Amino acid sequence: MVKDITGLLRDNGFKVTPQRLAVYKVLYESKEHPTAEMLFNELQPVYPTMSLATVYKTIEILAQLNLIKVLNTGEDSFRYDADTREHAHIKCIKCKDMGDVMDLEMGGLVQAVENKTGYDITAQQLYFYGVCPICRKNKMN
């Protein structure tokens, strides 16, 4: 993972820094779809001199290199996902937890949208919203 990103950064004219590698590593290993602020807070103990601006700049570079997806779920901040395979996302409207919905057959949906609109769909992001099992359970207790 780090070897791949190192070469990709260099090949595209970006400096390879420990902070950039750390931001990507946290994103790569996370299933939480963190915001920039969440990334900053997680990395701050290890990189106390790293600024929030560095996190944002790194995110911008990673997105430009298609190493991460930028997710807009209607919050004040974007969330980020290093799993760039096509998949949907689900978000709890109570606790704001966010997860992946893998292995949905979206080809039929894309085809239907193309047929209805005349567009040639090149990308899509699909979000589901609801109340997660933990919040539902807590409401019952």
Q: Average pLDDT by consecutive 10-residue portion of the chain (141 residues)? A: 82 96 96 95 96 97 95 90 92 94 87 95 91 90 55
* DSSP class per residue in 36-65: HHHHHHHHTTT-TT--HHHHHHHHHHHHHT
Cα(132)–Cα(7) distance, integer angstroms: 39
pLDDT of residue 104: 86
User: What pLDDT sits at residue 42?
Assistant: 97
Please tell me the predicted confidence (pLDDT) of residue 76: 84
Q: What is the pLDDT of residue 86?
A: 87
Residues 6+ apart with CB under 8 A from 107: none
At 44-84, the pLDDT tens digits run 999 999 999 999 999 999 999 999 999 998 888 899 999 99
Q: What is the C-alpha separation between 46 and 35, in angstroms, rounded?
A: 18
47 alpha-carbon distance from chain centroid: 21
The structure tokens 């004219």 sit at 13
Short-list 32, 76, 34, 29, CA closest to 55: 34
pTM of the complete model? 0.85
Cβ pair 35, 77 in contact under 8 A? yes
- Give the pLDDT score at 72: 92
Per-residue DSSP letter, 84:
-
CA distances from 3 to 6, 8, 10, 24, 93 (A): 5, 9, 11, 12, 38
